[in-house]
């Protein structure tokens, strides 16, 4: 296989009259043409380092990717940048297979540059390289059976055997840093290539204990801080993915906006008694129209209507992979439940859904909250959830819901009547809040 790459690189070098180098999509050198020029400028520090160390630095990679080479379907010209050690301009030929970038062919640019016909012929050779790279990646990373066995095996010796089988298949990389990813729902087969993935499989609905199939991805990580590029790549798997949102930061910003809107409002220490007084004072005729505001609402509607992804914390070695998969599933469910968390949510950032996801894999049917959670009382349930999200502060909750405080008090009174709960009681508040979040998680 390596000889095939060298032959194809030499073919491109001959077509364009310049030495070419081939790197995979991680900028690791695969093959390079002979440099027979006596001109010192025929090489520069970046190309020299790439050939001697067989890889480029992260800074060089970032600089070149800034020219859009990962998205390009044709040759890309990149100017010289002496400050960065790039003394000569480059021509990059993206190597793709079925629309997915597999690597890059690099040539030092010159004046005049290659003729358009020669570049077109070189791109045809680059396509042949793309087929080889894709086939090699599939042959080396088609571990779906072993990966699926780890995720679905029962505890004990069966899981130990599944982990041992996957470890053997992964070889030296098995004990490196990994993260589990869940994309749900998923239709069809697993994608042929996911950047940064060590293994990919589809977990059937019956094995997942869910109503729909899920896609599972085992990500390789260079370090705990290397999650960003992996998440960006994962976003491309989602039908209507947006940029990754930091759920905790979003919630904090939303709360701050609500607080500013209701500046000067005081917290209510006895909402139940105040609610009854407000209702008696004539709030029964208050308007029921409202605009859902900052708390619990977000701009990430794509997560609510399409697929969402959850990402576990990084783990070292494969022994913790089943637990990491549980984290990924919980994060994907949370992203579907709360648009502000998605469409790609990390387990560390989903807050109370970490515990709720572990406690309840299905809907919780508590008799106290059953009536409130029926479709007929959706507005009251939403009011109660926002009120509790705002830590029982009536001013903030009213501002978030876009209603008058008297309207809020009236609705909370109706919540107490339906549930029999006392919103002055911490335990009753906890029960109601958990029931509402669980209903959202399993909705």
Output the pLDDT for position 278.
35
Helix/strand/coil for 436: helix
DSSP state, residue 127: H
Dihedrals phi, psi of 142, to nearest 5 degrees: -80, 75
Output the pLDDT for position 34.
63
Output the pLDDT for position 241.
35
Q: State yes or no: pLDDT of 172 exceeds 90.
A: no
- Smallest CA-to-CA distance from 85 within 122, 52, 43, 125 is with 43
Instruction: Average the pLDDT over 331-349 and give the result.
Output: 86
Q: State yes or no: pLDDT of 442 exceeds 60.
A: yes
The band of 311, judged by pLDDT with boundaries at 50, 70 and 90, is: very high
Output the pLDDT for position 281.
34
Give domain limits for the chain. Answer: 2-140, 144-245+302-356, 247-297+359-441
Mean pLDDT score across all residues of the chain: 74
Output the pLDDT for position 40.
47
CATH architecture of the domain with range 2-140 = 2-Layer Sandwich (3.30)
227 close to 238: Cβ distance less than 8 angstroms: no
427 close to 399: Cβ distance less than 8 angstroms: no
Q: State yes or no: pLDDT of 95 exceeds 90.
A: yes
Walk across the sheet containing 100-108 and list its strands: 29-32, 20-24, 100-108, 90-97, 76-78
Q: State yes or no: pLDDT of 133 exceeds 90.
A: no
Instruction: Average the pLDDT over 404-429 and give the result.
Output: 89
What is the Cα–Cα distance from 196 to 179, expressed in whole angstroms?
11
DSSP state, residue 269: S
Q: 353: exposed, middle or buried (C-beta count within 10 Å: 0-12, 13-18, 19+)?
A: buried
Output the pLDDT for position 129.
93
Claim: this prediction has a pTM higher than 0.75: no
342 close to 333: Cβ distance less than 8 angstroms: no
User: 247-297+359-441, which class in CATH?
Assistant: mainly alpha
Output the pLDDT for position 339.
82
Output the pLDDT for position 39.
47
pLDDT digits (tens, 9 = 90+) for 251-292: 334 344 344 333 333 333 344 333 333 333 333 233 222 211
Q: State yes or no: pLDDT of 128 exceeds 90.
A: yes
pLDDT digits (tens, 9 = 90+) for 28-71: 788 877 655 554 445 555 555 555 445 566 777 778 888 999 89
Nearest 5°: the CA angle 298, 301, 307 is 125
Q: State yes or no: pLDDT of 155 exceeds 60.
A: yes
Q: State yes or no: pLDDT of 297 exceeds 70.
A: no
Write out the DSSP string of 181-243.
EEEES--SSPPS--TTEEEEEEE-HHHHTSSS-EEEEEEEESSTTTHHHHHHHHHTTSTT--P
Dihedrals phi, psi of 180, to nearest 5 degrees: -95, 145
277 close to 405: Cβ distance less than 8 angstroms: no
Q: Which residues pair with 266 in a beta bridge?
A: none
Output the pLDDT for position 427.
83
What is the Cα–Cα distance from 337 to 442, expressed in whole angstroms?
8
Dihedrals phi, psi of 310, to nearest 5 degrees: -125, 140
Output the pLDDT for position 120.
94
**C-alpha distance from residue 205 to each of 34, 185, 186, 369, 439 (Å):** 53, 9, 10, 29, 20
Percent of the chain scoring above 70 in pLDDT? 70
Strands 214-221 vs 177-184: parallel, antiparallel or unpaired: antiparallel
Least confident of 58-72, 101-115, 328-342, 357-371: 357-371
Q: Which residues, including other chains, have CB under 8 Å from residue 342's CB and lie 6 or more apart? A: 245, 300, 302, 303, 308, 309, 334, 335, 336
**C-alpha distance from residue 421 to each of 270, 274, 432 (Å):** 13, 15, 8
Q: State yes or no: pLDDT of 180 exceeds 90.
A: yes
The band of 167, judged by pLDDT with boundaries at 50, 70 and 90, is: confident
What is the Cα–Cα distance from 72 to 87, expressed in whole angstroms?
23
**C-alpha distance from residue 304 to each of 240, 320, 441 (Å):** 10, 30, 11
Output the pLDDT for position 46.
59
What is the Cα–Cα distance from 155 to 386, expressed in whole angstroms?
39
Instruction: Average the pLDDT over 5-12 and give the result.
Output: 90
Output the pLDDT for position 364.
61
Q: Looking at per-residue confidence, does 270 or 373 come out higher?
A: 373
């Amino acid at each position: 296989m390596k000889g095939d790459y060298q032959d194809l690189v030499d073919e491109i070098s001959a077509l364009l009259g310049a030495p070419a180098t081939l790197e995979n999509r991680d900028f690791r050198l695969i093959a390079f043409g002979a440099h027979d020029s006596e001109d010192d400028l025929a090489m520069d520090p970046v190309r020299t380092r790439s050939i001697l160390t067989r890889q480029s630095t992260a800074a060089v990679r970032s600089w070149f990717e800034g020219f859009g080479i990962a998205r390009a379907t044709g040759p890309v010209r990149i100017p010289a940048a002496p400050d960065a050690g790039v003394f000569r301009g480059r021509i990059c030929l993206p190597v793709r297979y079925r629309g997915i970038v597999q690597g890059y062919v690099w040539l030092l640019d010159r004046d005049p540059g290659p003729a358009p016909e020669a570049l077109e012929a070189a791109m045809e050779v680059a396509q042949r390289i793309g087929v080889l790279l894709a086939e090699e990646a599939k042959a080396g990373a088609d571990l779906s059976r072993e990966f699926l066995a780890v995720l679905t095996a029962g505890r004990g010796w069966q899981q130990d055997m599944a982990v041992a089988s996957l470890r053997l298949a992964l070889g030296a990389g098995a004990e490196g840093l990994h993260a589990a990813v869940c994309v749900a729902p998923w239709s069809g087969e697993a994608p042929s290539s996911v950047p940064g993935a060590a293994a990919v499989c589809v977990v059937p609905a019956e094995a997942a204990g869910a109503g729909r199939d899920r896609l599972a991805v085992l990500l390789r990580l260079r370090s705990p801080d290397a999650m960003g590029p992996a998440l960006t790549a994962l976003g491309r798997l989602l039908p209507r993915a947006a940029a990754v949102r930091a759920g905790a930061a979003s919630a904090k910003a939303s709360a701050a906006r609500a607080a500013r809107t209701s500046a000067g409002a005081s917290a209510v220490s006895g909402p139940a008694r105040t609610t009854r007084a407000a209702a008696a004072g004539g709030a029964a005729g208050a308007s029921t129209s409202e605009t859902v505001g900052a708390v619990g609402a977000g701009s990430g509607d794509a997560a609510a209507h399409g697929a969402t992804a959850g990402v576990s914390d990084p783990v070292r070695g494969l022994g913790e992979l089943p637990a990491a998969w549980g984290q990924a599933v919980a994060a994907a469910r949370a992203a579907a439940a709360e648009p502000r968390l998605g469409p790609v949510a990390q387990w560390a950032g989903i807050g109370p859904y970490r515990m709720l996801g572990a406690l309840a894999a299905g809907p919780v049917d508590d008799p106290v909250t059953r009536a409130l959670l029926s479709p007929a009382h959706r507005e009251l349930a939403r009011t109660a959830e926002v009120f509790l999200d705002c830590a029982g502060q009536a001013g903030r909750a009213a501002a978030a819901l876009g209603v008058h405080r008297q309207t809020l008090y009236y609705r909370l009174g109706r919540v107490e009547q339906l549930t029999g709960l006392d919103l002055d009681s911490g335990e009753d508040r906890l029960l109601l809040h958990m029931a509402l979040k669980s209903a959202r998680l399993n909705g």
